[in-house]
Amino acid sequence: MTHSAAPKRASSLAMIITLGGVAMLSGLLVVLTWQLTLAPIQENQRIMIEKAIFQVIPGAQQRRSYRLTDKGLEQFDPKVTKANKTDLKFYAAYDKQGQLKGIAAEAAAQGYADMVRLIYGYDPKCQCIRGFSIIKMTETPGLGDKILTDETFLANFNALDASLSDDKKSLKNAIITVKHGSKKNLWEIDAISGATITSKAVGKAINQGAEKLLPKLSPYIEELSQLQTLPTSQAEAKQ
């Protein structure tokens, strides 16, 4: 008959053996799956980020990951080294010849329902934002997601001014979202009527991200302007 019908109490040893055995079996299975799926998952992530970067920086063909730490600029491989929370991470995108086309970085702000996470593209030549791509958002379908399709809204990002102030410590003008139809300056974003809060979140995310990254980045633009391969000494040091 089934064990559930048996009134006999199992010994503690049996319990421990069962639990331990099952735990070991499950550990084995999970580790195996993790090992097998690691490569395709990383590949998927790389494709997704590259797609977003090439979308926000027109003409880009290849990219490198960088981070700004207390020590300065450093190229790094996110697969090998993990960035600290305080590091400013960004991507430098180059065309086929290895000329710098732009900088892409992640940013986020509170939207209507939840955080709106995006990647924006910065063009150091015109000191302006060239575009953005949403990584994740849960805004109202049909209203909030207009930020991806509304042409007048996207036209804001043809050349959104993000030039630095004279002392290079901050943005000259904070990027701000204004009410639909009242855009006057190059650093203003014309909101979509009916999706003001989501439009504002996009502006806020880009402003906060740019304010943090761009002033610190400006001394290094020269250094980044040519595609660099990871210096061998540095690559070895990471092994």
Partner 1 sequence: MSPDSVSFIFLNAFLINNFVLAMFLGLCPFLGVSGKLNTAWSMGLATTLVMLISSISAYFINELLVYFEIEFLRLICYIAVIASAVQLVEMTMKKFSPGLFKALGIFLPLITTNCAILGLALFQTHKDYDLYQSLAYSTGAGAGFILAIVLMAGLREKLELADLPNTSQGAAISLMLAGILSLIFMGFAGLGS
Partner 2 sequence: MPIIEDNTITADTFLTGIWKENPVFVMLLGMCPVLAVTNSVINALAMGLATTFVLLCSSTLISLLRNAIPKEVRIATYIVIIATFVTITDYVIQAISLELYNALGAFIQLIVVNCMILGRAEAYASKNRLLKTLVNSLGMGIGFTIALLSLGSVRELLGNGSLLGYSVFGEAFQPWVVMVLPPGGFIVLGAWLLLFNWLKERKASLALAKEGGVS
CA distance 53 to 35: 28
- Looking at 4-12, 95-103, 106-114, 168-176, which segment touches partner 1 (CB under 8 A)? 106-114
DSSP state of 8: P
Question: Rule CB under 8 A: is residue 178 a binding residue for partner 1?
Answer: no
By a kind-dependent CB cut-off of 5 to 8 A, residue 51 interacts, out of partner 2, partner 1, none, with: none
Place of tokens 């009242």: 182
d(C-alpha 124, C-alpha 127), whole Å: 5
Cβ of 185: how many Cβ atoms within 10 Å? 9
For partner 1, the binding residue among 52, 56, 107, 109 (CB under 8 A) is 109
| Least distance from partner 2 to the Cβ atom of residue 38, Å | 8
Q: Which residue in this structure is represented by tokens 């006999």? A: 8
Indicate the residue among 26 and 84 with the shorter CB distance to partner 2.
26
Task: Determine if 197 is a binding residue for partner 1 (CB under 8 A).
Answer: yes
**110, 152, 158, 193: which one binds partner 1 (CB under 8 A):** 110
Rule CB under 8 A: say whether 124 interacts with partner 1: no
Under 8 Å CB-to-CB from 177, ≥6 apart: which residues? Answer: 188, 189, 191, 196, 199, 200, 202, 203, 204
Where along the sequence are the contacts to partner 1 (CB under 8 A)? Answer: 26-27, 30-31, 34, 85, 108-115, 140, 197, 200-201
